[in-house]
Amino acid sequence: MIARFKDLCIDAADPDRLGAFWARVLDGSVVDTGDGDTRVDAGPDGVGPESIWVNRVPEPRTVKTRVHLELRLAGDDPAPLLAAGARVVREPDDEIEWWVLADPDGNEFCAFAARPDTSPGPMELVVDTVEPQRLAEWWAGVLGGAVEMTGWDAASLVGAAGFPWDEWVFNPVPERKTVKNRMHWDVDLIDPEPTGLIRAGATLLREPDDAISWWVLADPEGNEFCAFAPRPTQ
């Protein structure tokens, strides 16, 4: 294991609006970070692995979201999500049993009806990929956990260190990534430097500088993620 999953980040044209939306959806609180960004504290103990950082970017969303969340509803329809500001992209039909929605910034996500054996809230993080098993196994090598294949050729990573939701699903798609993802994740390194990640096959995109204190890397399919050095022990 090289790192632990830390948190999720979303690019947005309006972090205040998007942060308020996700805070309402996740029954969390939105925090103004003081630098134009916001943070949604969705975990029961405040800041933690379920925090979502909403970062201001100048460029608009232009392509389909390759990284998205899947949510379990508290009821049988997504009316509360629509009231919060989501819009319907696709309703359940003969092919799918869930709703495809978009948040106020246009990022798509999926919502599933409630079931007696589940609780409402985020269930899965989904990443589109051309090689699901290969990418899932790569992340298992970084974060630990086990890879399970599904009936539709997706790969599911379970038990990854620090991962806060049920599953991390790598979904097969034919098209390769072409632009920067609007949603990415952060990891906490075990060692002080990201050498292990780079040796494993990550690409270094940016080193710490006067503006940031972390490394920006990409996995073997080009998905950007940030790596943070271990926090000093007290």
Helix (H, G, I), strand (E, B) or coil at 154: coil
Of 49-63, 104-118, 165-179, minimum mean pLDDT range? 49-63
Share of the chain above pLDDT 70, in %: 96
143 domain residue, yes or no:
yes
- 83 Ramachandran zone, left/alpha/beta (phi>0; psi -120 to 50): alpha
48 domain residue, yes or no:
yes
Residue 56 confidence class, pLDDT cut points 50, 70, 90: very high
38 domain residue, yes or no:
yes
Q: What is the pLDDT of residues 126-158, one digit of tens each?
A: 999 999 999 999 999 999 999 999 888 999 999
234 domain residue, yes or no:
no
Q: What is the pLDDT of residues 20-31, one digit of tens each?
A: 999 998 888 999
What dihedral do alpha carbons 7, 9, 15, 19 form, nearest 10°?
Answer: -40
| Contact between residue 121 and residue 80 where contact means Cβ atoms under 8 Å apart | no
Pick from 60, 52, 4, 49: which is nearest to 25 by CA? 52
Domain membership of residue 211 as a residue range: 3-228
Mean pLDDT of 62-82: 92
The model's pTM is: 0.92
Number of domains in the chain: 1
DSSP letter (8 states) at residue 133: H
Strand 87-90 relative to strand 108-112, pairing: unpaired
